[in-house]
Structure 1
């Protein structure tokens, strides 16, 4: 392993440039079963690009697949992320309930986990856990987009039944409280 950090191939850099909205704060190569993959964290979003068929250690001309954007989501779409230092895997959990996205880092030192954490925390202005009738739980939050726009989110599991008037009432009340505290209309 050399002194210099690895760089994505020209094709991956070009794909990243065409999909990102601002400057890259951190980037890291990812371990995949086939090809090259990179995660990019910008002020506004998380981007993951994969270039299938790029043999490890081969030149850029050896790429057999066009880079594809696998993840392109703003920070307010991230519910949370966990980083397992033993396996070197960041698991990104989404507010919409999509399957968590694993980012397996290649073992080199990277600031990606720290930047990812900082960007998610920056996007959360206020959050309140909500105990629901029947024992369930949810969270309501006021989140921030990179342009400063504030909006509210309700994050709950599959077991949250919004057709239940008591559950809907508890969530609505909590959402009104956090919106009011953030200066948003309730």
Structure 2
């Protein structure tokens, strides 16, 4: 197990990546509705604080596009189509991330033990600081989710709750967008 890096998330340095939150997958995901709300919460905060929100879609011709509740919060360009299980295996996605100039990546989506884990490790290998939100990722079973989080953490990825990420991006209650952010927090308990 690697020593945990210390990451202080900054909205000017971060990007939020939503991995494969697609209609065919979500009904079989453990607490899929709750997960969608946590992802929507963090994406709303990201948009408020001008953190780019990117999304990947696994084989969208078969699995469908990103669910509407999330897709409306994704930055241009539209979600990136991929066949690889790692978002890092999607060249257009990596090009857009690099072009954003952001060195910190916060990951949410499905499935923890497959695409989230492989994307996190690929981003680490590419030199990014990576945070995964355990309440913002899931799998078809709680056991798969837990095993995925163990592997992610053992790889040196930092876990952080979606609300912790939001407050870290804000930094202070004196942030000019704090009241708007607090309203979003209250809408997504």
TM-score normalised by length of structure 2: 0.23
Higher relative contact order (CA 8 A, sep 6+): 2
Larger Rg: 1
Which protein has the bigger strand share?
1
- TM-score, with normalisation over the residues of structure 1? 0.23
